[in-house]
Amino acid sequence: MDRIRITGGATLNGVIPISGAKNAALPLMIASLLTPETLELHNVPRLADVQQLLRILGNHGVDTAIAGKRPGQTSETGQSIRLKAASIIDTVAPYELVSRMRASFWVIAPLVARAGHARVSLPGGCAIGTRPVDLLLMVMEKLGARVEIEGGYVVATAPSGGLRGAHIDFPKVTVGGTHTALMAAALADGETVIDNAAREPEVVDLADCLNAMGARISGAGQSRVVIQGVGSLGGASHTVLPDRIEAGTYAMAVAMTGGEVLLEGARPELLQSALDIIVKTGADITVSNEGVRVRRNGHGIDPVDVTTEPFPGFPTDLQAQLMALLTRAKGTSRIRETIFENRFMHVQELARLGSRIRLDGDVAWVDGVERLTGAPVMATDLRASVSLVIAALAADGDTTVNRVYHLDRGFEALEAKLGRCGAQVERLSGD
């Protein structure tokens, strides 16, 4: 199993191109099941999760082709993928595929909407919380599907005549539930109204793509979304939006190490709440047509008080990275996690580097320390793993991060991007 070794102490200076957003690319790829025509996606990141989803879609009959590199394109600037589900040959999503990536459960929506039936494995456990699928199943039932649980599988069947428009009022904000509702309602008969919809940019990106395919969706990015169902969807060409979580992660890395880095292609409006917090820690941020430039000023890192919230609030996917940054703050910071009930698993690993963090329910108190010291650490999930990288960049000596397959799921060319800006990062092959 591969590991990453980081020698801390170097500042970061240079340019980091921001990749396409994983959390947008996955539902966009799943949307290819809604049409027999070709969906072409550009700026798709080269990630393990993308490859896994291609295998899952292939199981349903989606033909995929990855386009060759275009002029100026590198391994860090995304890829173009053509997906075509001329016919759906299998409506079963087996456990051995779904268990590897929870987002693959979302195939239930286009399979039922287009083929009238789906048998999808329940996704099983998750390192950062239960993340139940009950709200996704509620969506399908509201739209008229019959939903049953049989032997660890969800069996969903549309009524004769297909899914029907309905009013869906989510009891809490759910990105997965909103993705599911958009895809299922796009082909439902009549009007669907979603209240308390997720407002994340990745939801808007999916709605934009579906509209390009012929859907009639209005209000995406707001709490109320209205979908007028259509009889069929066609092909389209769509560019995946830049990854706000990757941009925020590298911004925090620069704030941690010092230096100055241009996050090329980053869109500030996608992560304004995170940028505001980074400024409060003492970094300088400037915005231009090129992207977002981050520079650590000379007075050190200031403590902050942060609560994770659905968009446009501070994202839970940046909580671990912020905690790593705050381990070197001049004082005590408070982080409250409201989205996932078990997303402090990185605390014990950060402690191995010398951090001082106290947990009290959903609150973490981070007492800044003068120095961190390199040590062997182990990644527990995607965002926790990159928080260890951020801490290691500022630690004295070497840090070895184990289980880096978590990083490969969500960060494209991480070693190359950091290395080109002066970090000493090396991947070590292992058993």
Task: Give pLDDT tens digits for 142-183.
Answer: 999 999 999 889 999 999 999 999 999 999 999 999 999 999
Spell out the domains of the chain, with CATH numbers in brackets.
22-239 (3.65.10.10), 242-428 (3.65.10.10)
Binding site residue list = 22-23, 102, 131-135, 317, 339
Residues forming beta bridges with residue 38, ordered by sequence position = 84
- 29 contacts 54 by C-beta, under 8 angstroms: yes
The pLDDT tens digits of the residues spanning 342-390 come to 678 899 999 999 999 999 999 999 999 999 999 999 987 777 889 999 9
Binding site residue list for phosphoenolpyruvate = 22-23
- Residue 206's identity, in one-letter code, is L
- Residue 175's identity, in one-letter code, is V
Q: Round to whole Å and give the CA distance between 287 and 372.
A: 31
* pTM greater than 0.85: yes
Q: Would you say residue 1 has pLDDT above 80?
A: no
Whole-number pLDDT of residue 431: 58
How are beta strands 117-121 and 153-157 bridged, if at all? antiparallel
Options 126, 359, 363, 428, the catalytic residue: 126
Q: Round to whole Å and give the CA distance between 211 and 188.
A: 14
Per the annotation, the verdict on 126 as an active-site residue is: yes
